[in-house]
Structure 1
Amino acid sequence: MNNLFSLYVLNKKQNNFLIFSSIIALVLLLIRVKITHSFYLLFLIWNLVLAVIPYIISNFIKIDLSIKKYNFQNLFLILLWLLFLPNTFYLITDFVHLNHNNLIQFCFDFILLSSFTIAGFYFGMLSISTIHQQIDFFYTKKESTLFIITISFLCAFGIYLGRFLRFNSWDIITNPFFLIESIFNCLFENETWLFTLGLGTLITIVNLIYIKLKSNN
């Protein structure tokens, strides 16, 4: 009973932080639009919406409570989750749009992009944590840690496909053959490996730290 209560309180705090961080990001963006009369960074809203999708999906997967049941619904939800999960960490690459000669504008946009990145990362961490809890229940610590590492590097590779090759999550349905061909070709590029290893390491560290802190609480 105490564990259930603790889990409820913890989830409530997490959801409150998700809402708070998202609202802060959106408010900052609206302030920027009001001051600059520019809609340039409004695409951040769509990127944040895409980051919410895997978090929602992961909670539906949790309902079944056992990913060892390889039924169609579980497989479909897991594959869908994997396709959309890179969108949560993708927001960190939006810093490429940070380009101003005006110092005040530069600082404000840096804070704005940071707020969206934090919100996106938190959606991603909670989403992975939700699935990790199930894996940790049925498998060993080493296997559940391997899951975190694998998912993190897959996310980094997915982000590379999105940022540099300009693919979207739904291209696996609308343009699968070109996507597969592009993935095969980019595997021979040093840029692909450098980006994936660098960002994958960052995502891994962030997730492992979060999982560790959460388990301690």
Structure 2
Amino acid sequence: MNKLITIYVLNKKQNSSLFILSILSIILLLLRVKITHSIYLLFLLWNLFLALIPYSISSYIKFDFSIKRSNLKNLIYLIIWLLFIPNTFYLITDFVHLHHNNLLQYIFDFTLLSSFTIAGFYFGILSIHDIHKLVKSIYSRRVSNAFIISISYLCAFGIYLGRILRFNSWDIVSNPSNLFYSILDCLFEIETIIFTLSFGSLILISYSITYQLTLKNKLHEKY
């Protein structure tokens, strides 16, 4: 019972921060629509929604796992989570839409895209952290570390599939054969490798820094 209460309290704090950050991003976007009379960046709402999906799944798995450690339902949810987790970090690639001759417009759009990117990264880091804790509770530290490294670079490869090859998470169901052959074609291309290593390292470093800060905060609270 104490463990469930702790999970609830931590989730409540995280959800409050994510809610505030998401609302701030949405307000900035709606303000842009109001000022420019353009819906050009309105797709950011959809991208933010896609970033919410893996966080919701990992939060549910974490809560359900504390009650029943392992079942088929959680395994299915974990597979779905793996398919959607790249969407949280994908938002950083939306900076490709940043192009304006007007300096004020450029600064505003940069701030807007940054807010959505930070929100997406926050969803992703917290979501991976939830699953990381579950992996650590079952397997060794070495396995859990390997899991984080693998997830980071798989996310980066997923971003490549989405931004460069223009696939999305739904294509695993709606267009699996084309997705599969496209993956085989690009897997060992230099562009794919550089993109995956670069973004994967960024995700891994971001998570590692956040994880270390979390550990330090826990130690300070303990003592």
Moved more, 88-97 or 205-214: 205-214
Distance 1:211 1:12 in 2: 19
Q: Is the 8 A contact 1:86 1:155 kept in 2?
A: yes
Indicate the residue corresponding to 1:93 in structure 2: 93
Moved more, 158-167 or 10-19: 10-19
Aligned partner letter, 1:107: I
Q: What is the alpha-carbon root mean square deviation over aligned residues?
A: 1.9
Q: TM-score, normalised by structure 2?
A: 0.91
1:156/1:45 CA distance change after superposition, 3 Å: same
Indicate the residue corresponding to 1:19 in structure 2: 19
Aligned partner letter, 1:128: I
Shift of 1:13: 2.1
1:191/1:122 CA distance change after superposition, 3 Å: same
Indicate the residue corresponding to 2:142 in structure 1: 142
Q: Is the 8 A contact 1:171 1:179 kept in 2?
A: yes
How many residue pairs align between the two structures? 216
Indicate the residue corresponding to 1:123 in structure 2: 123
Shift of 1:10: 3.4
Aligned partner letter, 2:65: D
Moved more, 9-18 or 119-128: 9-18
Q: Is the 8 A contact 1:132 1:144 kept in 2?
A: yes
Aligned partner letter, 1:97: H
Indicate the residue corresponding to 1:110 in structure 2: 110
Distance 1:83 1:169 in 2: 6
Shift of 1:3: 7.2
Indicate the residue corresponding to 1:43 in structure 2: 43
**SS of aligned partner of 2:75:** helix
Q: Is the 8 A contact 1:65 1:134 kept in 2?
A: no
Cα distance per residue 1:170-205 (max 9 Å; x no partner): 101111111000000001311100000000000001
Map 1:71-82 → 2, pairs under 5 A: 71-82=71-82
State yes or no: 1:174 paired with 2:174: yes
Distance 1:120 1:107 in 2: 20
Distance 1:170 1:11 in 2: 28
1:13/1:60 CA distance change after superposition, 3 Å: closer
Residue ranges of structure 1 left out of the alignment (5+ in a row): none
**SS of aligned partner of 2:212:** helix
Runs of 4+ in 1 over 3 A off after TM superposition: 1-10, 65-69
Shift of 1:60: 2.0
- Taking every aligned residue pair, what percent have the same amino acid on both sides? 61
Distance 1:75 1:14 in 2: 24
Indicate the residue corresponding to 1:160 in structure 2: 160
1:172/1:67 CA distance change after superposition, 3 Å: farther
**SS of aligned partner of 1:203:** helix
Indicate the residue corresponding to 2:221 in structure 1: none
Shift of 1:9: 4.1
Distance 1:188 1:9 in 2: 45
Q: Is the 8 A contact 2:4 2:66 kept in 1?
A: no
Distance 1:5 1:164 in 2: 43
State yes or no: 1:29 paired with 2:56: no
Distance 1:196 1:151 in 2: 12
Moved more, 152-161 or 2-11: 2-11
**SS of aligned partner of 2:165:** coil
Distance 2:66 2:157 in 1: 28
Q: Is the 8 A contact 1:59 1:130 kept in 2?
A: yes
Residue ranges of structure 2 left out of the alignment (5+ in a row): 219-223
